[in-house]
Amino acid sequence: MKRIHAFGCSLTAQHNWRYLEDVNVTSYAVPGGSHNMQLVSYGNGRHEETIGRDDIIIWQITDPRRHAYNVKTENLAETKKFKYSTRLKMKDSVSKHNAGRLVTENIYTGKEMHMYTNHLFEYWFEGDEIVNYINVANDMAELEDNIYSLLWSLNGIKRMNTKLLVVFGWDDGLPDGCKDKMINFFGLNSIATIESSILDWTLEQGYEQSSTCHPNKEGYKAFTEEVLEPKLKSLGWI
């Protein structure tokens, strides 16, 4: 059976490509997650050999201005733990997370990492210093330099897993004019891409949004069956 490893934010975590048939899907998606979370999860999977060279990688693009940081433990508010809820069960996920949080090992230092996405800091933390964290994170996000690390990291992943398919989450999550340049980069580097974003495609097809501004169950199912699965078949991967 073909093996797929899926990376992304809530636009993957809410369904984990469960509507694909006759494949084994493992999801590393983190709701509210960031690209550096995805890169860490991929790197650990390759290191642990749970991701094989011939496996298929589905990489869902989230907002590149998101970035996960560590925050001092004295600012962690147990009473403010943000509970992510969705109508769709997030089964088959290997990530230890709530929204915007990933706990995993740094395989190069042996230390445990607690990663929190900047745009959800206020849900996880309290204390006088948290405002400074938020301000610094927002200032760093304005550079939008994560686009470089994202694109060139995917270029490296393509060398390790040639069956790499990039899927966009939602168009408004990208800086103006960025998507076309990203698609051009993927084309120049022979990285397979689905140009229609998950959310935008479902809205164009008339599917309703959920209360959290995500596609509903029917929308996810349709995108999988009408867009993703045909793409994988056209590539000869399934």
Query: Beta strand 101-105 with 112-117: parallel, antiparallel or unpaired?
Result: antiparallel
Q: Any idea which architecture 2-234 has in CATH? A: 3-Layer(aba) Sandwich (3.40)
pLDDT surpasses 60 at 80:
no
pLDDT, tens digit, 9 for 90 and up, residues 201-224: 999 999 999 888 999 999 999 999
With cut-offs at 50, 70 and 90, classify the pLDDT of residue 77. low
For residue 76, the model assigns a pLDDT of: 62
Per-residue model confidence (pLDDT) at position 212: 85
Better-predicted residue by pLDDT, 86 or 18: 18
Considering the chain, what is the average pLDDT of its residues? 89
- The conformational region for residue 161 under phi > 0 = left, psi -120 to 50 = alpha, else beta, is beta
Mean pLDDT computed over 69-94: 54
Q: Which of 38, 98, 112, 110 is nearest to 68 (CA)?
A: 38
Domain ranges of the chain: 2-234
